[in-house]
Amino acid sequence: MISTLAGKFLPPVILQKCATMKQLKQIHAHFITAGLLDSNVFLLGRLFAFCADTDSGDLDYAHLVFTQIRSPDIFFVNTIIRGYSTSPTPTKSIQFYTHLLRSRQAPDLYTFPFVLKACTQLSDVWQGETIHGQAIKFGFSSYVYVGNALIHMYGFCGHVETARQLFDGISERDVVSWNSMISVYAKLGDAREARSLFDAMPERNVISWSAMIACYVQQGSSKDALNIFSQMQADKVMPHKSTLVSVLSACAHLGALEQGKWVHAFVGSNGMKLSVVLGTALIDMYSKCGCVDLALKIFHEMHEKNLLAWTTMIKGLAMHGRGHEAVNLFTDMLALGIEPDDIAFIGALSACTHAGLVAEGRQYFEMMSTVYNVSPKIEHYGCMVDLLARVGQLDEAREMVETMPMCPDSLIWGALLAGCKFHGNVELAESVAKHLIQLEPENCGVYVLLANIYAASGRHGDARKLREKMKTKRLMKTPGCSVIEINGTIHQFLVGDTSHPQIKKIQAMWEGIG
């Protein structure tokens, strides 16, 4: 009797104790030998679900187990479809669904959301429309669970109007319905529609708030993102790590150091593990807010670092003029066997530019294609032109601009023009300015820079003519902008702008100082 009970209840307990796939495979082999799996459907289901989990499992092993199940029911089919739907090979999810139909086994309510998720991963709206039709045929299209998946699929495949029609057609929406539609608008950067839905929601959860914050960050409306985050805190909604990553991005964009520090403290006080994504967001925030040493401290404390974390720290050091440290960090990254991508090389070349390391810059630019098979993009050429122009090697910089395989943009010509100003090369500056004016005829900065070059070389008459030409063309300088953070609130000031709610007090204070 005891052995029978042990045979019935011990295997599930052992499965729960398995911490790795290696342990589970060993236990699985033992159960097969002992004949414990054949008749124990519950045990087999637990085993299979564990294997098909995309975070901790092994989908190839799950596939092997699936092939050994006699007449797998819809639970097993749904489990394998779900596993592959979020895997690097979502096509297999659709293949299992097709096999299900061919075997004349009917899908159920939970089949369609999983296979529609695979269509979303593949951006395959044609396949999604086919599955939508089958959901109608089997009578499941009116279920909110399926409707939400359809909204997500159509929206993220670019068919926003269809997604909105489905959303409007759901008679009893749940919070997932609203979140799905908001996420679609957020992905498009349509903050207006997203906010309209957000404000109309009967109830919100952390995903709702996070989607709205991410939408504002994506659109560049960082101040609005922080305002929404403040409302979220007032509603006592606990943010996810993904929420905090978006908030840190907004802080980095605005230079809101105190708000960023608050997020950092929040992570620590709530026992959140510093994931690679969250750690990298903190590094980026501290770097862009001027606290590069704090960024370095977090970088060195991170137990796990990916390429993005290294690249962010390298770029952070470079932007603060610590080019030698950035280059050393790039060297350390290569020594660890981490292969750089095109963005990492931009960070390394930018570091060389700030430190004036011409030899190293040339070496990195060459090794991109010869060692790492990374084709230089216009940004890499821009870094090299900037580097050469800064150190006075203007002829080589010009030759690179003229021979690069793509048309130089205004940033590249601008870097060369800045080098001409610094080193007093008026003749080349005039030639470069012509190219810039052709690209951006309304950019007054080109005229101002060239006028300053004329003035510095003693050609005051030419400088005066150029400024008169600006007046004739009615070219106006872009107004300067200042941003300051006080007690976690961001205040923005433009030249000549009087829209600040405390502008009278500010002007009175300014007159008092004067």
The 3 state secondary structure assigned to 373-435 is CCCCCHHHHHHHHHHHHHCCCHHHHHHHHHHCCCCCCHHHHHHHHHHHHHHCCHHHHHHHHHH
Q: What is the DSSP letter of 485?
A: E
Stronger pLDDT, 283 or 87, i.e. the higher one: 283
Q: Name the pLDDT band for 499 (thresholds 50, 70, 90).
A: low
Say whether 303 sits in a helix, a strand or coil. coil
DSSP bridge partners of 485: 490
Give the pair of three-digit tokens for residue 510. 């300014």
Q: Please check the confidence at residue 20 and state whether its pLDDT lies above 70.
A: no
Stronger pLDDT, 13 or 99, i.e. the higher one: 99
Within 10 angstroms of residue 306's Cβ, the number of other Cβ atoms is 14
Within 10 angstroms of residue 360's Cβ, the number of other Cβ atoms is 20
Q: Please check the confidence at residue 10 and state whether its pLDDT lies above 50.
A: no
Stronger pLDDT, 417 or 57, i.e. the higher one: 417
Average pLDDT, the chain: 83
Q: Please check the confidence at residue 377 and state whether its pLDDT lies above 90.
A: yes
> Tell me, what amino acid is at 10?
L
DSSP bridge partners of 483: 492
The size of the chain, in residues, is 514
**Whole-angstrom Cα Rg for the chain:** 30
Q: Please check the confidence at residue 500 and state whether its pLDDT lies above 80.
A: no
Q: Please check the confidence at residue 452 and state whether its pLDDT lies above 90.
A: no
DSSP bridge partners of 484: 491
Of 305, 314, 407, 301, nearest to 353 by C-alpha is: 314
Stronger pLDDT, 52 or 128, i.e. the higher one: 128
Average pLDDT of the residues in 323-343 = 94
Give the pair of three-digit tokens for residue 423. 């080193």
Stronger pLDDT, 161 or 56, i.e. the higher one: 161
Average pLDDT of the residues in 20-46 = 54
Q: What is the pLDDT of residue 65?
A: 73
Q: Please check the confidence at residue 1 and state whether its pLDDT lies above 60.
A: no
Instruction: Kindly give, in sequence order, each residue whose CB lies less than 8 Å from that of residue 199, ignoring residues fewer than 6 positions away.
Output: none
Say whether 53 sits in a helix, a strand or coil. coil
Q: Between helices 74-85 and 59-67, what is the axis angle to 10°?
A: 160
Q: Name the pLDDT band for 7 (thresholds 50, 70, 90).
A: very low
Q: Name the pLDDT band for 271 (thresholds 50, 70, 90).
A: confident
Q: Please check the confidence at residue 116 and state whether its pLDDT lies above 90.
A: yes
Q: Name the pLDDT band for 509 (thresholds 50, 70, 90).
A: low
Q: Please check the confidence at residue 33 and state whether its pLDDT lies above 80.
A: no
Residue 335, phi then psi, degrees to nearest 5? -65, -30
Average pLDDT of the residues in 265-284 = 92
Average pLDDT of the residues in 7-22 = 49
Chain centre to alpha carbon of residue 15: 37
Q: Name the pLDDT band for 487 (thresholds 50, 70, 90).
A: low
Domain boundaries, the chain: 377-478, 481-514
What span, in angstroms and rounded, lies between the C-alpha atoms of 352 and 141?
A: 58
Which residue carries 């009278």 as its tokens? 504
Q: What is the DSSP letter of 492?
A: E
Q: What is the pLDDT of residue 9?
A: 40
Stronger pLDDT, 181 or 77, i.e. the higher one: 181
Q: Please check the confidence at residue 299 and state whether its pLDDT lies above 90.
A: yes
Q: Between helices 206-219 and 222-234, what is the axis angle to 10°?
A: 160
DSSP letter string over 236-273? TPPPPHHHHHHHHHHHHHHT-HHHHHHHHHHHHHTT--
What span, in angstroms and rounded, lies between the C-alpha atoms of 222 and 232?
A: 15
Q: Please check the confidence at residue 14 and state whether its pLDDT lies above 70.
A: no
Q: Name the range with the highest mean pLDDT among 375-379, 476-480, 505-509.
A: 375-379
pTM, 2 dp:
0.75
From 136-150, 357-371, 452-466, the region with the lowest mean pLDDT: 452-466
Q: What is the pLDDT of residue 122?
A: 92
Share of the chain above pLDDT 90, in %: 51
Q: What is the pLDDT of residues 429-444, one digit of tens each?
A: 878 878 877 777 777 7
Q: Name the pLDDT band for 276 (thresholds 50, 70, 90).
A: very high
Q: Please check the confidence at residue 447 and state whether its pLDDT lies above 90.
A: no
Q: Please check the confidence at residue 251 and state whether its pLDDT lies above 70.
A: yes
Cα distances (angstroms) measured from residue 469 to each of 136, 420, 447, 448, 465 = 67, 21, 9, 11, 6
Q: Please check the confidence at residue 34 and state whether its pLDDT lies above 70.
A: no
Q: Are 469 and 447 in contact (CB under 8 A)?
A: yes
Type and span of the H or E element at 298: helix 292-301
What span, in angstroms and rounded, lies between the C-alpha atoms of 131 and 133?
A: 5
What span, in angstroms and rounded, lies between the C-alpha atoms of 275 and 278?
A: 5
Q: Are 495 and 478 in contact (CB under 8 A)?
A: no
Q: What is the DSSP letter of 477?
A: P
Q: What is the pLDDT of residue 229?
A: 94
Strands 489-494 and 481-486: antiparallel
Q: Name the pLDDT band for 5 (thresholds 50, 70, 90).
A: very low
Average pLDDT of the residues in 97-113 = 89
Share of the chain above pLDDT 70, in %: 79
Specify the CATH architecture of the domain 377-478.
Answer: Alpha Horseshoe (1.25)
From 50-54, 85-89, 215-219, the region with the lowest mean pLDDT: 50-54
Q: Please check the confidence at residue 366 and state whether its pLDDT lies above 90.
A: yes
Average pLDDT of the residues in 182-193 = 90
Q: What is the pLDDT of residue 433?
A: 79
Q: What is the pLDDT of residue 83?
A: 84
Q: What is the pLDDT of residues 189-222, one digit of tens each?
A: 899 999 999 999 999 999 999 999 999 999 889 9
Q: Between helices 307-319 and 323-335, what is the axis angle to 10°?
A: 160
Stronger pLDDT, 11 or 87, i.e. the higher one: 87
> Tell me, what amino acid is at 131?
I
Stronger pLDDT, 39 or 2, i.e. the higher one: 39
Cα distances (angstroms) measured from residue 320 to each of 305, 314, 329, 415, 510 = 22, 10, 14, 18, 31
Stronger pLDDT, 500 or 176, i.e. the higher one: 176
Cα distances (angstroms) measured from residue 431 to each of 259, 301, 335, 388, 417 = 46, 50, 43, 18, 9
